[in-house]
Chain A
C-alpha cells in the first residue's frame, strides 16, 4: 500500500488544487505514469504515480485544494491484478458526494501554513535590498509585494485561517491593521487561506438563466473587486464558469500590477528585413543542425538582452524605496495556452548564445503546453517579452509582469511600404512596444533601451548557427 501525496511544487508553494484525476479507482497504473493534474499558485502540472499497482482510493476530489503532503490517494502496490475491479471500486464508493458537501470538509491546513505564520521579521540591520532566500521569504502579495502587518494581525489571521495576501491594508505604508483584518473577517471579504475558496470556486455553477448564485465569485479575492453591483451582471441567458486557479492568479496579478506600477508605453517601429532574410536563408540548415526550429523570437530575446545590459534600470525590481538591479537577465516569455497563460523564464539569457536561447525557448514553450514546467522555471524573471503579434496584433500594450519593471510587446511582422533613402520600399516591419514602470524607468531611458533593441535587430551581426 502506498500513499500518494500532494507534492510541494516549489519552495513557497503550500497547497495545490487537484484539477483532474487521470485514473479511476481500480485502474492499474505504472510507476511514473501520470496520475493526476494539479494547479498551484505558480504552475499547472501532471503528477506521476510514485509506484506501480492499482489505484485503490482517491481521497481528494477534483477541484479540491489541499496542503502539501496531504494524502490524496492510495495505491495498492501488491494486488496488482487481483484486487482490481469490484473490490477496489467498492473500497472507494463514489468519492464525490460524501466529500464535496462543503468546503469546510476540506482538510484543515496545518497550523504552520505559510501565509498565516508570523512573518520572520528581517533583522533591522539587514539592508532591505538583500534578497531574502527562498526559505526565509516573508509572505508576499501575489504581485510580490511584502505584506506588512503586525504581530496581532498575524495571530488573528492564523486563528481565523485567513490569507493576509488577500486583505488590503489601510495602515501606514499599506500595512494591514487590526481594523482591516477584523473588517475582512466580519465582512466575509477575506479569503480563507486554503481549501475554502478554491473548493467553493470549483463547485459547479452551471446555472443558465438562473438567479444569481447566492455567493458571488467576488469572495474569491479581495483584489478582484467588481466595478458594478453583482446583481447587474446577471441578466438574460448566461452561464457561470468558476475561474480556474490559474485564471484567478492571472487576474490578481494583473490588477495588482496595474495598481502598483504606473505604466507608461512607448512604441517603436523596427525594420526586421535583415533578420527575416537571415532566417529564411538559414532556417532549414538551422533546424537540421540543431534539431530545433528557427523562429523570430530568439532574435528579439537576444536584442532585449543587449538593451538590458546597456540600460540595467530596465532589468530591475522595486522594493519600497530600493531599486533592485538584477545582475542576471532572466527573460520571461509569455506563452499562450488553451487554458490561460504562463510565463516561463529563460534564466541567464545574457550567458546564452543564439542557439542556446532558441533551444531554451522551444523547450520551455513545449513543456508549458504539456504542463511539465517546474515551479522554478516560472519564477525569478527580471524582464518579460510577450508576442501579441503571433495572433495578428499590430501592436499590444502589455501589463508589466511583476516584479519586473518593463515588458516588451512584439507586434505582427508584415511587409509594409517604408521610406528608404527618399524612395518607397517594401520592408518587413514590426512594431515593438515597451510598457514600463515610471517609478524607476523614465521615458528617456525607455527610449534609449528601445533604440538599442532596434539597432541590434536592424544591424544583426551575430552568427546564429
Chain B
C-alpha cells in the first residue's frame, strides 16, 4: 500500500473512529464546510453529516464547554483547535473542568482535544506553540505528541476510546513532510508507551514530535564520530513512560533531552528529576538538554532558526556529554 502522511493518518483515525462508534462526534472552527485549516477533516461533513460534524463559533471556551456536556451525555467528542495556541483561551475549561470532572463527581469527559502545534514553519508567535507543559501539571489529563503517521493514527484512535480528556498535539511541520506505509488492517497504539527509534550504547537522546527527527539526524552525525546514540521517542508525555526512560538510562548511563518547547519549565526538567529519583547511580554524566530559547517563537525565519534546536546543536551537546 502507498505511504501516507501524518496528516492522512490523523484523518483516517477520525474517519475510522466515527465509523466505528456513532457516539464519536467532531467539532471545531471551520472543520465542516471548509474541511479544517489544514484539511484534516476534509470530507468529514459529507460523510457523517452536520449532526456529527459541527462547525463551531470562534470561542474555544464554548467549544470545550460544549464538548464536556456532550461527554456527560454519552458522546465522545473530538475537538479541533484551529491552532493549538488558542487552547490558552479555554485553559479554564480544560484544566478546571474537563480534567477534574472524573475526580470531582465521577463523570469522566471522554474528549479528545487536538490541534496543529509546534514551530519551524514561520508561523510566528501566535501560531507555533508547544503548550504541553501548561497541561503536564494538570492531573486528570493525558497528553500525546506523536512523531510518525503510524503512531498518530494509532494513538488518536486510542485517545478517542479513552474515557478521560486527552490532549493530542499534532506537529504541523510533520503534517505533510513525513510519509510512511501503515498496515491496512485496523490497529491502535497504546497511550503511555515510548518507542526506541534508534538503538545505541553511548548515550540516550530523549525526544518527541518533530525533535525526534532532529535527534535522529544528530545521531547520524554522531555515529560518524564514533558516538553511538540511542534515540527514544516519548510519544506520550502524560503519563511519561518512566520504565522506558529509566531502562535506557541504565543502559547508556548518559541522558540528553531534546524538546522544541522553551527551556524553563520544559519537560526536560521533569524527566531529569524522574531520572535522579530512579537512576541516579546509573548516571555517568549530568543530564543535558537542548531546547528552544526562552522567548516567544520568532516570526523572522533567521531568528526562528536560531530559536529552535537543530541537529548541530543536539550533536554538540551530545559530544560534550559523551566526553564528560
Contacts and interface: CB of A to CB of B under 8 A. Distances in A.
Nearest to B282: A152
Contacts of B280: 151
28 contacts: A150-B284, A150-B285, A150-B324, A151-B280, A151-B281, A151-B282, A151-B283, A151-B284, A152-B253, A152-B281, A152-B282, A152-B283, A152-B284, A153-B284, A154-B281, A155-B281, A155-B282, A171-B323, A171-B324, A172-B320, A172-B323, A172-B324, A175-B324, A177-B284, A177-B285, A177-B324, A178-B253, A178-B284
B237 to A, nearest CB: 26
Interface in B282-324: 282-285, 320, 323-324
Contacts of A152: 253, 281-284
Q: Is the interface of A mostly helix, strand, loop or mixed?
A: helix
Interface of A: 118, 150-155, 171-172, 175, 177-178
A151 to B, nearest CB: 5
Contacts of B281: 118, 151-152, 154-155
A118 B280 CA distance: 11
B148 to A, nearest CB: 32
Nearest to B285: A150
Contacts of A153: 284
Given A150-B253, A150-B285, A172-B323, 9 more contacts: A151-B280, A151-B282, A152-B281, A152-B284, A153-B284, A175-B324, A177-B284, A177-B324, A178-B284
Contacts of A118: 281
A154 B280 CA distance: 11
B248 to A, nearest CB: 14
B23 to A, nearest CB: 51
Contacts of B323: 171-172
Contacts of A177: 284-285, 324
A171 B324 CA distance: 5
Nearest to B280: A151
Contacts of A178: 253, 284
Contacts of A150: 253, 283-285, 324
Nearest to A155: B281
A150 B284 CA distance: 5
Contacts of A175: 324
B310 to A, nearest CB: 24
A178 B320 CA distance: 15
Nearest to A159: B281
Contacts of B284: 150-153, 177-178
Contacts of B320: 172
Which 5 pairs show the lowest CB-CB distances between chains A and B? Answer: A155-B281, A178-B284, A152-B284, A150-B284, A151-B281
Nearest to A152: B284
A171 B253 CA distance: 14
A151 B253 CA distance: 10
